[in-house]
C-alpha cells in the first residue's frame, strides 16, 4: 500500500501560513483509496500529485478541527463526481458527525451524496475493501472526541495516532504496529497538553518497536527547529525508525 502525504503540517498557525501543506494523507492501492484527515489543500494537492480522487472509497476524519477536516466537502464532491454518483463512506466519530456545529459542520447536501456515514467509537471494527480491517482507537485531545485506527491485513498492522496527549494506555492501544503515522507538532523540548512531542514519539518507538514511524502534523515551532530535531532523533539512535516525510512524498508499507 502507498501513503501519499498531501500535507505534513498542522496546528492553526502552520495551517494559516501554509509553511507546510495541510491536506492529510491518501492511502492507495489497486481497488482501494482512502483520504485521511483532509485539511485545507487536500483537493488541490491531490490533483497536483496526479491522484484521481474520483477513485476514493472512503474519507476518515479523526476529529472536528479545521486542519483535519477543512476539505471534507470538496473531497466528497471529488469522490462522488460532483455529488452525482452516490458512493463512498465517511468514517468519523459522533463529535464530527453530529449536528451540534460546535467545532465544524458538514452540509446535508454533501452528507446525502455519500453511500454511508459510519459513526465509530473505541473498539469498533470496520471491514474495508481488499480484506483490510480497521480497528478504532480513541485518544485524548483537548475538548473533542478524537479517533485513530489500526489498519491490518495478513499479519501486518499500520496505526494512525492523530492529535493526542500522552496518557496511560496510549502505547498499549497501538501495540503490535509494524508501521505508524503519528501526529507530532511539538519538539523534544516542549510538553503541551493535547499534542505529542518528539520525546513521546521516541518512547512509543522504543516500546512498540515498529519498522517505521512517520511523523506528521508539524507545527511552526517544529519547522523552526527542524534540523535540530533531526539531529536529536539521530542522537537517540532512532534515525532508521523515525522519519519526517516531505510534503507530497509517497511511502510504501507492507500491508
Domain ranges of the chain: 2-245
- The mean pLDDT value of the chain amounts to 96
User: Is residue 232 predicted with pLDDT exceeding 80?
Assistant: yes
Average pLDDT over residues 143-148: 94
| CA distance linking residue 154 with residue 47, whole number of Å | 31
How high is the pLDDT of residue 2? Answer: 98
Query: In sequence order, what DSSP letters do the residues of 166-217 get, joined into one string?
Result: --TTHHHHTTT-SEEEEE--B-TT--BTTB-BHHHHHHHHHHH--SEEEEE-
CA 168 – CA 181 distance, rounded (Å): 19
User: Which neighbouring-strand residues pair with 77?
Assistant: none
Contact 171, 195 (CB under 8 A): no
- Mean of pLDDT values over 12-16: 93
- The pLDDT, as a whole number, for residue 1 is 97
pTM for the full model?
Answer: 0.97
% pLDDT > 70, the chain: 100
Q: What is the rounded distance in angstroms from the CA atom of residue 127 to the CA atom of residue 25?
A: 20
Distance CA 4, CA 136 (A): 21
**Where residue 192 falls among pLDDT bands split at 50, 70, 90?**
confident
Q: Cα(180)–Cα(209) distance, rounded to whole angstroms?
A: 10
SS3 annotation, 99-119: CCCCCCCCCHHHHCCCCEEEE
For 59-76, how does the pLDDT look when each residue is reduced to its tens digit (9 = 90+)? 999 999 999 999 999 999
CATH class of the domain whose range is 2-245: alpha beta
Handedness of CA 232, 237, 240, 243 (dihedral sign): negative
Inform me whether the pLDDT recorded for 101 exceeds 80. Answer: no
Structure confidence at residue 191 (pLDDT):
81
- The whole-angstrom separation of Cα 183 and Cα 133 is 22
- On the 0-12 / 13-18 / 19+ scale of CB atoms within 10 A, 127 is exposed
- Using DSSP, state whether 156 is helix, strand or coil: strand
Query: What are the pLDDT digits (tens) for 79-91?
Result: 999 999 999 999 9
Of the candidate ranges 72-76, 79-83, 139-143, 198-202, the one whose mean pLDDT is the lowest:
139-143
Is pLDDT at 170 greater than 90 in this prediction?
yes
The pLDDT of residue 150 is 98
- Residues paired with residue 159 on neighbouring β-strands, in sequence order: 150, 180
Mean pLDDT of 88-102: 90
- pLDDT of 104 > 80? The answer is no
Q: Which residues pair with 134 in a beta bridge?
A: 126, 151
Amino acid at each position: 500500500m502507498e501513503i501519499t502525504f498531501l500535507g505534513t503540517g498542522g496546528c492553526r498557525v502552520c495551517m494559516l501560513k501554509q509553511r507546510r501543506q495541510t491536506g492529510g494523507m491518501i492511502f492507495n492501492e489497486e481497488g482501494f483509496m482512502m483520504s485521511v484527515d483532509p485539511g485545507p489543500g487536500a483537493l488541490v494537492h491531490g490533483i497536483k500529485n496526479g491522484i484521481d480522487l474520483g477513485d476514493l472509497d472512503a474519507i476518515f476524519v479523526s476529529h472536528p478541527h479545521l486542519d483535519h477536516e477543512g476539505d471534507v466537502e470538496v473531497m466528497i464532491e471529488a469522490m462522488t463526481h460532483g455529488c452525482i454518483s452516490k458512493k463512498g463512506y465517511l468514517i468519523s466519530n459522533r463529535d464530527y458527525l453530529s449536528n451540534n456545529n460546535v467545532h465544524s459542520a458538514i452540509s446535508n447536501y454533501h452528507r446525502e451524496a455519500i453511500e454511508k456515514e459510519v459513526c465509530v467509537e473505541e473498539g469498533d471494527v470496520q471491514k474495508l475493501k481488499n480484506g483490510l480491517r480497521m480497528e478504532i482507537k480513541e485518544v485524548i485531545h483537548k475538548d473533542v472526541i478524537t479517533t485513530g485506527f489500526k489498519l491490518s491485513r495478513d499479519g501486518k498492522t499500520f496505526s494512525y495516532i492523530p492529535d493526542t496527549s500522552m496518557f496511560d494506555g496510549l502505547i498499549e492501544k497501538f501495540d503490535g504496529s509494524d508501521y505508524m503515522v503519528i501526529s507530532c507538532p511539538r519538539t523534544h523540548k516542549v510538553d503541551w497538553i493535547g499534542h505529542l512531542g518528539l520525546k513521546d514519539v521516541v518512547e512509543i518507538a522504543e516500546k512498540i518497536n515498529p519498522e517505521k514511524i512517520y511523523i506528521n502534523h508539524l507545527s511552526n515551532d517544529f519547522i523552526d527547529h527542524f534540523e535540530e530535531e533531526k539531529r536529536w532523533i539521530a542522537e537517540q539512535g532512532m534515525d532508521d525508525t523515525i522519519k519526517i516525510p516531505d510534503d507530497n512524498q509517497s511511502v510504501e508499507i507492507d500491508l
